Structure 1
Amino acid sequence: MISKGNLLAGVFTAVLGASALTLPAHAEGEKDVTLYKSPSCGCCTAWGDALDKAGFNVIVKKTDDLYRVKQQVGVPENLEACHTAIVDGYVLEGHVPLDAVNRMLTERPDIKGLSVPGMPMGSLGMGEPDEDTQYTVFALPKVVGSKPAVYQKVGN
């Protein structure tokens, strides 16, 4: 029987060719982050740099077709942001804070990943947070069409 991870990896390879998404399903790839971003996006670069400084191995894949990447990993339109990343089989959509990424990798919840929709000011990669910084980190549900849950609130 083909596992869901192997099936998804095969679909990604077929659709995206040589720059296919890889979804490792084991802890040894835990610190590898593949970041899909627009070639010209500075805030995406800043987010990736912050993860790199925190000890992650960030592999940047520049693409002009982020919509296709988001479709392939199942990011709902209402939770989309400017970049998409993959870490240890989880999707990270947008400016997800480091503490949320680390918590997810430690707790291993049964979710598709995390999303910070849009580009909230003060989020990781979007300038320095201040007393007005407020945004929500959502858990991406595994079941298409399911309502996303609040994973973490920042500044609330």
Structure 2
Amino acid sequence: MRKRKFISVAIIGMLLGGGLLAAPPLLGSAPASAQEVEVWKARACDCCEGWVKHMRSAGFTAKIHTVDNLDPIKAANGVPDGLVSCHTAVLDGYVVEGHVPATDLHRLLAERPQAKGLAAPGMPPSAPGMDMPGQPYEVIAFGASGGLAVYAHH
């Protein structure tokens, strides 16, 4: 009986390892297709934490770097001065400046436009992580050959 149980477990393991059967996801784990967003933020920025929470609830994983000075991060990633916000992130080669909604980032990854990244300039009150509804704002695509362009209206 033990030998038969061992063989059954071995066969299931081979099927799982070969991709023929899908293992159920672990509770609390990110889906296999989750994209990691790498975020640089200031130590005392609560709204940045709110944006990271928004991103995680939308299926992204997050790697957080807390820094004292974001200016070198923004400069190294080519964020134009007029588009700066409170945090800078990188997602699959794109720069994400500020409180850009996860829906825009899913669209960005699906469409793969010729742009350096997206920005929600300043700190729009209605943006994810700020969570004060009622204030329209725009997400701007930057770094493409055409310069700046409105990517989304919210």
TM-score by length of 1: 0.74
Which structure 2 residues correspond to residues 120-139 of structure 1 after superposition, within 5 A?
Answer: 120-129=124-133, 132-139=134-141
Question: 2:96 — aligned with what?
Answer: 92
Q: Kindly state the Cα deviation for residue 128 of structure 1 after the two structures are TM-superposed.
A: 4.1
Distance 1:60 1:142 in 2: 27
Q: Highest Rg: 1 or 2?
A: 2
* Residues in 2 aligned to 1:116 and 1:65: alpha-carbon distance in whole angstroms: 19
**What count of residue pairs does the alignment treat as equivalent?**
123
- In structure 1, the gaps of 5 or more residues are 1-27
Identity %: 41
**Of residues 106, 116, 120 in structure 2, which corresponds to 1:102?**
106
> Does the C-alpha gap of structure 1 residues 32 and 108 become closer, same or farther in structure 2, counting only changes over 3 Å?
same
Q: How many Å apart are 1:30 and its aligned residue? A: 6.5
The equivalent position to 2:36 in structure 1, one of 32, 37, 49, is: 32
**Paired letter, 1:34:** E
User: Hey, what's the Cα distance between the residues in 1 that align with 2:34 and 2:148?
Assistant: 24
Structure 1 stretches of 4+ with a deviation exceeding 3 A read none
Pairing 1:75-90 to 2, within 5 Å after superposition: 75-90=79-94
Q: Which runs of 5+ in 2 are unaligned?
A: 1-31
After superposition, the Cα gap between the structure-2 partners of 1:30 and 1:138, relative to the gap in structure 1 and judged at 3 Å, is farther
Deviates more, 1:47-56 or 1:70-79: 47-56
Q: Which residue of 1 aligns with 2:18?
A: none
State the match for 1:153 in structure 2. 153
- 2:68 and 2:122 mapped to 1: Cα distance? 18
Alignment RMSD: 1.7
SS of the equivalent of 2:131 reads: coil
When the two structures are superposed, what TM-score results if normalisation uses the length of structure 2?
Answer: 0.75
Question: What amino acid sits opposite 1:133 in the alignment?
Answer: Q
Deviation, structure 1 residue 140: 1.2
SS class of match (1:70): helix
Secondary structure of 2:126's aligned partner:
coil
State the SS of the aligned residue for 1:148: strand
1:93-114 CA deviation, whole Å, 9 max, x = no partner? 0000111111001101010010
Q: Which amino acid aligns with 1:121?
A: P
Deviations 1:18-67 (A, max 9, x none): xxxxxxxxxx9970100000011000010011111111110000001100
How far apart are the structure 2 equivalents of 1:29 and 1:84? Answer: 22
Amino acid at match of 1:115: A
> Do the aligned partners of 1:113 and 1:140 also contact (CA within 8 Å) in 2?
yes
